[in-house]
Amino acid sequence: MKTRMTELLEIKHPIMLAGMAFISLPKLVAAVSNAGGIGMLNSVAYTPDQVRKVIRQVKSLTDKPFGVNATLIMPNARENIEVALEEKVPIINYALGKGDWIIKAVHGYGGKVLATVAIEKHARRAEADGADALVVTGHEAAAHGAEVGTMVLVTSIARQTKLPIIAAGGFCDGRGLAAALVLGADGISMGTRFMLTQECEMHQKTKELSLKAKMEDTLCSDKIDGLPGRWLKNPAAIKMAGGRPSPFQALSSALRIKRMIDVPFYKLFLGGLKQRGVQDLACQALGLKGLKVAIENGDLETGVLPMSQAIGLMKDLPTCKELIERTVAEAQEWVEDVRKKMSS
Protein backbone atom coordinates (compact mmCIF):
# COMPACT_ATOMS: atom_id res chain seq x y z
CA MET A 1 0.00 0.00 0.00
CA LYS A 2 1.54 3.27 -1.15
CA THR A 3 0.75 6.58 0.55
CA ARG A 4 2.61 9.82 1.17
CA MET A 5 3.79 8.28 4.45
CA THR A 6 5.37 5.25 2.77
CA GLU A 7 7.02 7.42 0.13
CA LEU A 8 8.36 9.94 2.64
CA LEU A 9 9.80 7.33 5.01
CA GLU A 10 10.76 4.82 2.28
CA ILE A 11 8.80 1.96 3.82
CA LYS A 12 6.40 -0.67 2.49
CA HIS A 13 3.37 -0.24 4.74
CA PRO A 14 1.84 2.95 6.26
CA ILE A 15 2.11 1.76 9.85
CA MET A 16 4.27 3.14 12.66
CA LEU A 17 5.18 1.77 16.07
CA ALA A 18 4.51 4.43 18.72
CA GLY A 19 7.59 5.21 20.80
CA MET A 20 6.65 3.89 24.26
CA ALA A 21 8.89 4.01 27.34
CA PHE A 22 10.16 0.56 28.40
CA ILE A 23 8.15 -1.01 25.54
CA SER A 24 9.57 0.30 22.26
CA LEU A 25 12.86 -1.51 22.75
CA PRO A 26 15.32 -2.58 20.02
CA LYS A 27 13.78 -6.01 19.38
CA LEU A 28 10.28 -4.61 18.83
CA VAL A 29 11.53 -1.58 16.88
CA ALA A 30 13.50 -3.78 14.49
CA ALA A 31 10.63 -6.26 14.11
CA VAL A 32 8.26 -3.51 12.98
CA SER A 33 10.79 -2.06 10.55
CA ASN A 34 11.68 -5.50 9.18
CA ALA A 35 7.97 -6.13 8.60
CA GLY A 36 7.71 -3.07 6.39
CA GLY A 37 6.49 -0.48 8.91
CA ILE A 38 8.50 2.08 10.81
CA GLY A 39 9.85 1.18 14.24
CA MET A 40 10.20 4.02 16.75
CA LEU A 41 12.70 3.71 19.63
CA ASN A 42 11.76 5.50 22.83
CA SER A 43 14.54 7.54 24.48
CA VAL A 44 12.81 8.78 27.64
CA ALA A 45 14.28 6.52 30.32
CA TYR A 46 17.85 6.34 29.00
CA THR A 47 21.05 8.22 29.64
CA PRO A 48 22.85 9.50 26.51
CA ASP A 49 25.34 6.61 26.63
CA GLN A 50 22.49 4.13 26.87
CA VAL A 51 20.67 5.78 23.95
CA ARG A 52 23.74 5.35 21.76
CA LYS A 53 23.97 1.69 22.75
CA VAL A 54 20.32 0.90 21.96
CA ILE A 55 20.42 2.82 18.67
CA ARG A 56 23.37 0.69 17.59
CA GLN A 57 21.52 -2.41 18.75
CA VAL A 58 18.60 -1.54 16.47
CA LYS A 59 21.03 -1.01 13.59
CA SER A 60 22.43 -4.48 14.20
CA LEU A 61 18.92 -5.99 13.96
CA THR A 62 17.61 -4.21 10.85
CA ASP A 63 18.85 -2.45 7.74
CA LYS A 64 15.46 -0.80 7.28
CA PRO A 65 14.54 2.77 8.30
CA PHE A 66 13.68 3.35 11.96
CA GLY A 67 13.28 6.33 14.25
CA VAL A 68 13.98 7.71 17.72
CA ASN A 69 11.45 9.78 19.60
CA ALA A 70 11.75 12.22 22.49
CA THR A 71 9.42 14.18 24.72
CA LEU A 72 11.21 17.51 24.77
CA ILE A 73 10.06 18.61 28.22
CA MET A 74 11.98 15.70 29.75
CA PRO A 75 15.24 16.90 31.33
CA ASN A 76 17.44 14.51 29.32
CA ALA A 77 15.67 14.96 25.99
CA ARG A 78 18.10 17.34 24.28
CA GLU A 79 21.17 15.28 25.17
CA ASN A 80 19.53 12.06 23.94
CA ILE A 81 18.39 13.64 20.69
CA GLU A 82 21.90 15.01 20.14
CA VAL A 83 23.18 11.42 20.36
CA ALA A 84 20.56 10.32 17.82
CA LEU A 85 21.72 13.14 15.54
CA GLU A 86 25.33 12.03 15.89
CA GLU A 87 24.23 8.50 14.96
CA LYS A 88 22.33 9.92 11.97
CA VAL A 89 19.11 8.09 12.83
CA PRO A 90 16.93 8.24 9.69
CA ILE A 91 13.81 9.54 11.45
CA ILE A 92 13.41 11.71 14.55
CA ASN A 93 10.01 12.10 16.21
CA TYR A 94 9.59 14.85 18.81
CA ALA A 95 6.71 15.99 21.01
CA LEU A 96 5.89 18.69 23.55
CA GLY A 97 8.46 21.29 22.57
CA LYS A 98 9.88 23.40 19.77
CA GLY A 99 11.74 21.22 17.29
CA ASP A 100 13.23 23.71 14.83
CA TRP A 101 16.80 22.88 15.92
CA ILE A 102 16.11 19.17 15.44
CA ILE A 103 14.63 19.72 11.99
CA LYS A 104 17.64 21.74 10.84
CA ALA A 105 20.11 19.12 12.06
CA VAL A 106 18.21 16.11 10.67
CA HIS A 107 17.72 17.72 7.28
CA GLY A 108 21.45 18.35 7.26
CA TYR A 109 22.13 14.62 6.86
CA GLY A 110 19.05 13.82 4.78
CA GLY A 111 16.79 12.45 7.51
CA LYS A 112 13.13 13.13 8.22
CA VAL A 113 11.37 14.69 11.21
CA LEU A 114 7.92 13.81 12.55
CA ALA A 115 6.21 16.17 15.00
CA THR A 116 3.66 14.65 17.35
CA VAL A 117 0.76 17.02 18.01
CA ALA A 118 -2.58 16.83 19.83
CA ILE A 119 -3.91 20.33 19.12
CA GLU A 120 -4.20 22.42 15.97
CA LYS A 121 -1.88 25.20 17.18
CA HIS A 122 1.02 22.79 17.60
CA ALA A 123 0.39 21.33 14.14
CA ARG A 124 0.65 24.78 12.56
CA ARG A 125 3.84 25.56 14.47
CA ALA A 126 5.49 22.27 13.50
CA GLU A 127 4.69 22.86 9.83
CA ALA A 128 6.10 26.40 10.03
CA ASP A 129 9.27 25.03 11.64
CA GLY A 130 9.78 22.65 8.70
CA ALA A 131 8.65 19.25 10.00
CA ASP A 132 8.22 16.61 7.30
CA ALA A 133 5.05 15.03 8.69
CA LEU A 134 2.68 15.20 11.64
CA VAL A 135 1.71 12.44 14.06
CA VAL A 136 -1.79 13.58 15.06
CA THR A 137 -2.85 12.07 18.38
CA GLY A 138 -6.50 11.88 19.33
CA HIS A 139 -8.13 11.46 22.73
CA GLU A 140 -8.55 7.69 22.33
CA ALA A 141 -4.78 7.17 22.46
CA ALA A 142 -2.81 5.59 25.27
CA ALA A 143 -0.74 7.98 27.36
CA HIS A 144 -0.49 11.61 26.28
CA GLY A 145 -3.15 13.35 24.28
CA ALA A 146 -5.60 16.25 24.49
CA GLU A 147 -9.39 16.49 24.58
CA VAL A 148 -10.37 16.13 20.92
CA GLY A 149 -11.08 12.67 19.50
CA THR A 150 -9.18 11.23 16.57
CA MET A 151 -12.00 11.47 14.03
CA VAL A 152 -12.47 15.22 14.53
CA LEU A 153 -8.81 16.11 15.14
CA VAL A 154 -7.38 14.32 12.09
CA THR A 155 -10.09 15.75 9.85
CA SER A 156 -9.51 19.28 11.12
CA ILE A 157 -5.73 19.21 10.81
CA ALA A 158 -5.88 17.52 7.40
CA ARG A 159 -7.86 20.53 6.17
CA GLN A 160 -5.17 22.91 7.37
CA THR A 161 -1.87 21.27 6.45
CA LYS A 162 -0.06 20.12 3.32
CA LEU A 163 2.07 17.71 5.34
CA PRO A 164 1.52 13.94 5.45
CA ILE A 165 -0.41 12.89 8.55
CA ILE A 166 0.11 9.76 10.64
CA ALA A 167 -3.04 9.29 12.70
CA ALA A 168 -2.72 8.01 16.28
CA GLY A 169 -5.31 7.12 18.87
CA GLY A 170 -7.61 4.11 18.76
CA PHE A 171 -6.04 2.27 15.80
CA CYS A 172 -5.46 -1.47 15.96
CA ASP A 173 -6.66 -3.08 12.71
CA GLY A 174 -7.53 -2.71 9.03
CA ARG A 175 -10.84 -0.99 9.71
CA GLY A 176 -8.92 1.71 11.55
CA LEU A 177 -6.33 2.11 8.82
CA ALA A 178 -9.05 2.42 6.17
CA ALA A 179 -10.89 4.98 8.29
CA ALA A 180 -7.71 7.00 8.85
CA LEU A 181 -7.08 7.19 5.12
CA VAL A 182 -10.63 8.44 4.54
CA LEU A 183 -10.21 11.09 7.25
CA GLY A 184 -7.23 12.50 5.37
CA ALA A 185 -4.32 10.69 7.04
CA ASP A 186 -1.56 8.88 5.17
CA GLY A 187 -1.04 6.10 7.68
CA ILE A 188 -1.44 5.17 11.33
CA SER A 189 0.60 4.84 14.50
CA MET A 190 -0.20 1.99 16.87
CA GLY A 191 1.05 1.63 20.43
CA THR A 192 -1.21 -0.62 22.49
CA ARG A 193 -1.67 -3.01 19.55
CA PHE A 194 2.11 -3.49 19.22
CA MET A 195 2.41 -4.03 22.98
CA LEU A 196 0.38 -7.15 22.41
CA THR A 197 2.72 -8.82 19.92
CA GLN A 198 5.17 -11.65 20.31
CA GLU A 199 8.23 -9.46 19.83
CA CYS A 200 7.22 -7.03 22.57
CA GLU A 201 9.22 -7.82 25.70
CA MET A 202 6.48 -6.75 28.11
CA HIS A 203 5.83 -9.30 30.87
CA GLN A 204 3.54 -12.12 29.73
CA LYS A 205 1.25 -11.61 32.73
CA THR A 206 0.71 -7.98 31.73
CA LYS A 207 -0.07 -9.05 28.17
CA GLU A 208 -2.60 -11.63 29.36
CA LEU A 209 -4.33 -9.17 31.71
CA SER A 210 -4.39 -6.52 28.97
CA LEU A 211 -6.15 -8.91 26.58
CA LYS A 212 -8.96 -9.22 29.13
CA ALA A 213 -9.50 -5.45 29.32
CA LYS A 214 -12.53 -3.79 27.74
CA MET A 215 -12.89 -0.43 26.02
CA GLU A 216 -14.29 1.00 29.25
CA ASP A 217 -11.30 -0.14 31.32
CA THR A 218 -9.21 3.01 30.89
CA LEU A 219 -9.09 6.34 32.68
CA CYS A 220 -7.72 9.77 31.79
CA SER A 221 -5.71 11.79 34.31
CA ASP A 222 -2.97 14.42 34.47
CA LYS A 223 -1.85 13.18 37.88
CA ILE A 224 -0.27 9.86 37.00
CA ASP A 225 2.84 11.17 35.24
CA GLY A 226 2.21 14.92 35.32
CA LEU A 227 0.67 15.17 31.85
CA PRO A 228 -2.87 14.44 30.59
CA GLY A 229 -2.96 10.82 29.53
CA ARG A 230 -4.96 7.60 29.24
CA TRP A 231 -4.12 4.58 31.42
CA LEU A 232 -5.42 1.13 32.27
CA LYS A 233 -7.97 1.52 35.07
CA ASN A 234 -6.21 -0.60 37.67
CA PRO A 235 -5.72 -0.05 41.43
CA ALA A 236 -2.48 1.92 41.13
CA ALA A 237 -3.77 4.22 38.40
CA ILE A 238 -7.00 4.90 40.30
CA LYS A 239 -5.02 5.77 43.44
CA MET A 240 -2.53 7.99 41.61
CA ALA A 241 -5.31 9.78 39.73
CA GLY A 242 -6.94 10.64 43.07
CA GLY A 243 -4.34 13.15 44.25
CA ARG A 244 -0.91 14.71 43.89
CA PRO A 245 2.29 13.61 45.67
CA SER A 246 3.21 15.16 49.01
CA PRO A 247 6.32 17.41 49.26
CA PHE A 248 8.26 14.42 50.66
CA GLN A 249 7.16 12.22 47.75
CA ALA A 250 8.08 15.03 45.36
CA LEU A 251 11.64 15.18 46.68
CA SER A 252 12.17 11.42 46.86
CA SER A 253 10.68 10.94 43.41
CA ALA A 254 12.86 13.67 41.95
CA LEU A 255 15.91 11.90 43.36
CA ARG A 256 14.68 8.62 41.87
CA ILE A 257 14.32 10.07 38.37
CA LYS A 258 17.74 11.76 38.77
CA ARG A 259 19.30 8.34 39.34
CA MET A 260 17.33 6.77 36.47
CA ILE A 261 18.38 9.21 33.75
CA ASP A 262 21.58 10.61 35.35
CA VAL A 263 20.99 14.36 35.06
CA PRO A 264 21.88 17.20 37.48
CA PHE A 265 19.20 18.07 40.01
CA TYR A 266 18.89 21.65 38.71
CA LYS A 267 17.82 20.29 35.33
CA LEU A 268 15.13 18.25 37.01
CA PHE A 269 13.90 21.39 38.78
CA LEU A 270 13.86 23.38 35.54
CA GLY A 271 12.04 20.50 33.87
CA GLY A 272 9.42 20.61 36.61
CA LEU A 273 8.95 24.34 36.05
CA LYS A 274 8.27 23.67 32.35
CA GLN A 275 5.26 21.70 33.52
CA ARG A 276 3.37 22.93 36.59
CA GLY A 277 6.05 22.62 39.25
CA VAL A 278 8.10 20.02 41.08
CA GLN A 279 5.02 17.99 41.96
CA ASP A 280 4.51 17.26 38.26
CA LEU A 281 8.11 16.10 38.13
CA ALA A 282 7.33 13.82 41.06
CA CYS A 283 4.34 12.45 39.16
CA GLN A 284 6.65 11.86 36.22
CA ALA A 285 9.04 9.85 38.37
CA LEU A 286 6.25 7.87 40.02
CA GLY A 287 4.69 7.24 36.63
CA LEU A 288 7.96 5.93 35.19
CA LYS A 289 8.47 3.72 38.24
CA GLY A 290 4.93 2.33 37.96
CA LEU A 291 5.32 1.79 34.23
CA LYS A 292 8.57 -0.09 34.73
CA VAL A 293 7.17 -2.56 37.27
CA ALA A 294 4.05 -3.20 35.17
CA ILE A 295 6.06 -3.91 32.03
CA GLU A 296 9.04 -5.73 33.48
CA ASN A 297 7.48 -7.52 36.48
CA GLY A 298 3.89 -8.03 35.38
CA ASP A 299 2.72 -6.07 38.43
CA LEU A 300 -0.61 -4.37 37.72
CA GLU A 301 -1.39 -3.88 41.41
CA THR A 302 1.31 -1.26 42.04
CA GLY A 303 2.23 -0.60 38.41
CA VAL A 304 0.54 1.54 35.76
CA LEU A 305 0.16 0.98 32.04
CA PRO A 306 -0.74 3.39 29.19
CA MET A 307 -3.76 1.94 27.41
CA SER A 308 -5.73 2.90 24.31
CA GLN A 309 -9.51 2.63 24.25
CA ALA A 310 -8.93 0.22 21.36
CA ILE A 311 -7.77 -2.42 23.85
CA GLY A 312 -11.27 -3.89 23.80
CA LEU A 313 -10.80 -4.82 20.13
CA MET A 314 -7.60 -6.82 20.66
CA LYS A 315 -7.90 -10.57 21.11
CA ASP A 316 -4.56 -12.14 20.12
CA LEU A 317 -0.76 -11.92 20.26
CA PRO A 318 0.47 -12.00 16.64
CA THR A 319 3.97 -11.39 15.39
CA CYS A 320 4.63 -7.87 14.10
CA LYS A 321 4.79 -9.21 10.55
CA GLU A 322 1.44 -10.98 10.91
CA LEU A 323 -0.15 -7.90 12.45
CA ILE A 324 1.08 -5.45 9.82
CA GLU A 325 0.25 -7.65 6.85
CA ARG A 326 -3.19 -8.46 8.28
CA THR A 327 -3.92 -4.80 8.96
CA VAL A 328 -3.01 -3.72 5.43
CA ALA A 329 -4.94 -6.59 3.81
CA GLU A 330 -8.03 -5.83 5.91
CA ALA A 331 -7.82 -2.13 5.06
CA GLN A 332 -7.73 -2.89 1.35
CA GLU A 333 -10.72 -5.19 1.73
CA TRP A 334 -12.72 -2.59 3.64
CA VAL A 335 -11.94 0.15 1.12
CA GLU A 336 -13.07 -2.16 -1.69
CA ASP A 337 -16.19 -3.15 0.25
CA VAL A 338 -17.17 0.50 0.72
CA ARG A 339 -16.56 1.16 -2.97
CA LYS A 340 -18.91 -1.70 -3.87
CA LYS A 341 -21.59 -0.45 -1.49
CA MET A 342 -21.41 3.02 -2.99
CA SER A 343 -21.70 1.71 -6.55
CA SER A 344 -24.56 -0.72 -5.90
Is residue 45, in this structure, part of any structural domain at all? yes
Residues 160, 63 share a domain? yes
Indicate whether 78 and 136 sit together in one domain: yes
Specify whether 33 is located in the same domain as 149.
yes
Specify the long-range contacts of residues 231-234, CB closer than 8 Å, at least 24 apart: 231/142, 231/143, 231/304, 231/305, 231/306, 231/307, 232/300, 232/304, 232/305, 232/306, 232/307, 232/311, 234/300, 234/301, 234/303, 234/304, 234/305
pLDDT, block means (10 residues), the chain with 344 residues: 96 97 95 98 90 98 97 86 97 94 97 97 96 97 90 96 97 97 97 97 95 95 84 91 59 55 54 47 60 89 92 96 98 91 80
Query: Is the domain of 158 the same as that of 246?
Result: no
42 in any annotated domain:
yes
**Does 36 map to a domain?**
yes
What CATH code is carried by the domain that includes residue 194?
3.20.20.70
C-alpha of 283 from chain center: 19
pLDDT of residue 132: 98
The answer to whether residue 308 sits within a structural domain is no
Q: How far apart are CA 306 and CA 288, in angstroms?
A: 11
Instruction: Judge whether 195 lies within some domain.
Output: yes
pLDDT at 146: 87
Q: Are residues 291 and 320 in the same domain?
A: no
**274 close to 280: Cβ distance less than 8 angstroms:** no
* Residue 307, domain member (yes or no): no
The whole-number pLDDT of residue 279 equals 44
Calculate the alpha carbon distances from 241 to 51, 121, 225, 244, 301 in Å: 31, 28, 9, 8, 14
Burial class (CB in 10 A: 0-12, 13-18, 19+), 27: middle
Regarding whether 163 and 289 lie in a shared domain, the answer is no
My answer on whether 199 and 233 are in the same domain is no
168 and 290 fall within a common domain: no
Residue 320: inside a domain, yes or no?
yes
11 with 141, same domain: the answer is yes
Q: Are residues 171 and 59 in the same domain?
A: yes
Angle between helices 77-86 and 48-61 (to 10 degrees): 40
Query: Do 144 and 260 have their domain in common?
Result: no
| Domain tally, the chain | 2
Name the helix (H) or strand (E) containing 237.
helix 235-241
> What pLDDT, on the 0 to 100 scale, is given for residue 139?
95
* 210 within some domain: no
Range of the domain at 258: 218-297
For the entire predicted model, the pTM comes to 0.89
Q: What is the pLDDT of residue 265?
A: 47
Residues 233 and 323 in one domain: no
